[in-house]
Amino acid sequence: MTSISRALCSDGFFTRPPGVHSIQQLTSSLISSKFQPLLRELKQVSLRLDISKGIKNASQRLLDLLVDSTFKFTAQPLLPSQRNFAPVDEIGPCWVRIDADRIEGEVPSDFPEGFYIRNGSNPLFGALQSTESVFGRSSETWVEGEGMLHAIRFARDADSGKWKVSYKNRYIQSDTFRIEKEKNKPCFLPAIEGDSAAILAAYFLNQLRFGKINKYISNTNVFEHSGKIYSIAENHIPQEVDIFSLETLGNWDRNGEWGRPFIAHPKKAPGSGELVIVGADAVKPYLVLGILSADGRTLKHKVDLKLERSIVCHDIGVTNMYNIILDFPITVDINRLIQGGPLMKYDKESYGRIGVMPRYGDADSVKWFEVERCCVFHIINCFENGDEVVVRGFRSLESIIPGPDHGHDKFQWFSEGFKPISKNKESSSEGLNKGLFFSRVYEWRLNMKTGNAMERYLTGCEFALEFPMMNDSFSGQHNKYGYAQVVDSIASSICAKLKYRGLAKFYFEEQSNGISEVEAEKSTDGGIKVEHHHLGDNKFCSGGTFISKRGSQEEDDGWIVVFVHDEDLNSSQVHIIDTKRFGSDPVVKITLPQRVPYGFHGTFIPRRARNET
């Protein structure tokens, strides 16, 4: 024994029981004699916890058995024309250096160092899933594959000054991704498209098994705020991503302050750098707007916009003074689902309106403008012009999301919707939806003084457009130029999925009159000049983004960077296109080490002023 223990025992402080010869034995004896009642109670608590845990585990196993025996998962097939929508595997843990012989042309000297990164749907188990059960059928929609990032790193060698170009891809490892990855099989029952009973059963069982009604797909967009990078789809909050490893760092939950889904296209307010966000939900409050501080640490404003219906809100706009809210009739209605209808639907009989809201306003401060009913997923830009607020975006007559009502032939429905529309005509014979997804550049001029709304097409019927790009330095302010991907209506109709055959540059302040057919096409309204960049036969693009030339102040002085896939060679590239010579060949074509499936939105993240690790 130590001197202290001996002293404690010798001076009568402790009466040493017979047979106890050490402090360890004394301690054990005291515990066993003095604290037996407490030990017995602790053992009972532990036993109760073990029983509770055992019941929980047994209940989980029972639920898993119920789902496995009741629901049959099947992979949704792809046609040969759809093969580049098929998912790919992660290429590996490291960036793959692209050799010089796979780079045609030279990366410009004034191109910024950084990361071109694009998000997209990449189903974890090789294909989107459907289920059959006693409740009916439910299916994942074409936008529901797990998110995968594809990134190109542009870096200069410190010694030689030569460009080093590398490629990497990686899944967004959301909470639900990890669940299915661990179980190594599809687990979440599809819960958007299908028979109402099957969808309701999916909600109930997904919630019971996983505490979530649906998967967090995080496959739509990538954005930066306050030096941090996030992946997002609007059914969940963003996931933070390490740009150097593409590792998912966790949910950006704002310490629980936000507490709802997060829009796929948040916008930075001009001047302040604050981030304007919106979150839609199927229950009240249906739409909430928030403003995050420029440093990302504070939720400075949060307000219920008090909408009367739940809508799919994919994009918003900002100007110097206002937030722009789109309230168009792609509705989410649980009561409609319970009564046997679709959960999500484009409501042809409902209304459309645009709200103009002071930056820190509330629901009562929103000035609503009734406009023609239509579908708008993406805004190109918004700005103030005297008494008017100008909003430009892509307008179509109906929505491709989520898909047809149950009972329709899905392939035919999509195929008809992607077909070209006739000049001066936006509808076809009764019973068909020919060309209803044909999206054109549209302008709304909202007069804040009179309350009047003027609206018109800026492009015609010769080509459909989507996925806008612009110089983000002019976001929310008057801009002269914009860019978009050009839909190949014929190829999209053949495969019943969207394919983009090239790119377009918009000259908003120049009319198309007098412009050659190669350079521009004239809308029915005598619309704006549109210049084209053609990719070539059987080549299609995705994820384009605008990058400003380093140090330039000109709005259209930069590049469009975009993923391009050659379907004849089954090979993918990245093209860098000079926007000052938009119709010319790319200045660089970079052949990638593996195929890159078609995806959604891309962005460019300038390299931070620190060493890469």
Asked if the model's pLDDT at residue 431 lies above 50, the reply is no
In a domain, 389, yes or no: yes
In a domain, 45, yes or no: no
What total of structural domains would you count in the chain?
1
In a domain, 23, yes or no: no
Single-letter residue type at 588: V
Residue 301 labelled as part of a binding site: no
Edge-first strand listing for the sheet containing 379-385: 379-385, 388-395, 440-447, 453-457
Which residue from 120, 115, 119, 140 is spatially nearest to 129, judged by alpha carbons?
Answer: 140
For the chain, give the percent of residues with pLDDT over 70. 85
In a domain, 44, yes or no: no
Residue 378 labelled as part of a binding site: yes
- For the stretch 178-226, pLDDT in tens is 999 999 999 999 999 999 999 999 999 999 999 999 999 999 999 999 9
| Cβ contact 591:102 at 8 Å | yes
* Span 26-41, average pLDDT: 45
Contacts of 377 (CB under 8 A, 6+ apart): 314, 315, 394, 399, 401, 466
Q: pLDDT at position 48, please?
A: 54
For the chain, give the percent of residues with pLDDT over 90. 78
**Residue 56 or residue 74, greater confidence:** 74
Catalogue the E-assigned strands of 377-492.
379-385, 388-395, 440-447, 453-457, 464-469, 481-487
Contacts of 471 (CB under 8 A, 6+ apart): 479, 481, 546, 548, 555, 556, 558
pTM of the model: 0.87
Identify the weakest region by mean pLDDT among 16-25, 141-150, 257-266. 16-25
- For the stretch 548-571, pLDDT in tens is 998 889 999 999 999 999 999 999
In a domain, 30, yes or no: no
Q: pLDDT at position 253, please?
A: 81
Name the average pLDDT for the chain.
88
Strand-pair partners of 381: 392
Identify the weakest region by mean pLDDT among 34-43, 97-106, 201-210, 577-586. 34-43
In a domain, 462, yes or no: yes
- For the stretch 483-542, pLDDT in tens is 999 999 999 999 999 999 999 999 999 987 543 333 344 344 459 999 999 999 999 999
In a domain, 46, yes or no: no
Residue 408 labelled as part of a binding site: no
What domain range is 297 assigned to?
61-606
Q: pLDDT at position 40, please?
A: 55
Q: pLDDT at position 557, please?
A: 97
Q: pLDDT at position 160, please?
A: 86
* Span 9-31, average pLDDT: 40
In a domain, 456, yes or no: yes
How many Å apart are CA 125 and CA 510, to the nearest integer?
A: 49
